[in-house]
Amino acid sequence: MLVRLNVIDREGKTTALDIEEDTTIRDAIEEKLSPDNYGVCGGNCACGTCHALVTPSDFEKLKAAEEDEISTLKEAAIKPTTHSRLGCQIELKKEHNNITVTIAPD
């Protein structure tokens, strides 16, 4: 099943991506949009460069962040907010269909 992920890039352009369920947000963005300096640790929760700002109404649909993700967000991501997540830690499921995320500045 395909899940739609709307992505606002660093230039403010929105692109709708239709991706396989269980793909991470990081892998979807890397594969389809390949932004510079994005997801550089390969999805290992270490670099903070897959930082995404989740639209507040969609944020609640996501599984809560685990300790590793919270500490990498604090230590490595640039200016995290209360709606920040690491794209590599979120596998897209059907209940996430049509959520919108913004790629954080690098």
Residues in touch with ligand FES (CB under 6 A): 26, 39, 41, 43-50, 72, 86, 88
Closest distance of CB 70 from ligand FES, Å? 12
Cα(24)–Cα(16) distance, integer angstroms: 15
Query: How many other C-beta atoms lie within 10 A of the C-beta of residue 97?
Result: 15
Closest distance of CB 80 from ligand FES, Å? 12
Q: Percent helix, strand and coil across the chain, each rounded to 5? A: 25, 25, 45
| Minimum CB distance to ligand FES smaller for 50 or for 62 | 50
Cα(18)–Cα(23) distance, integer angstroms: 11
| Minimum CB distance to ligand FES smaller for 80 or for 96 | 80
| Minimum CB distance to ligand FES smaller for 88 or for 103 | 88
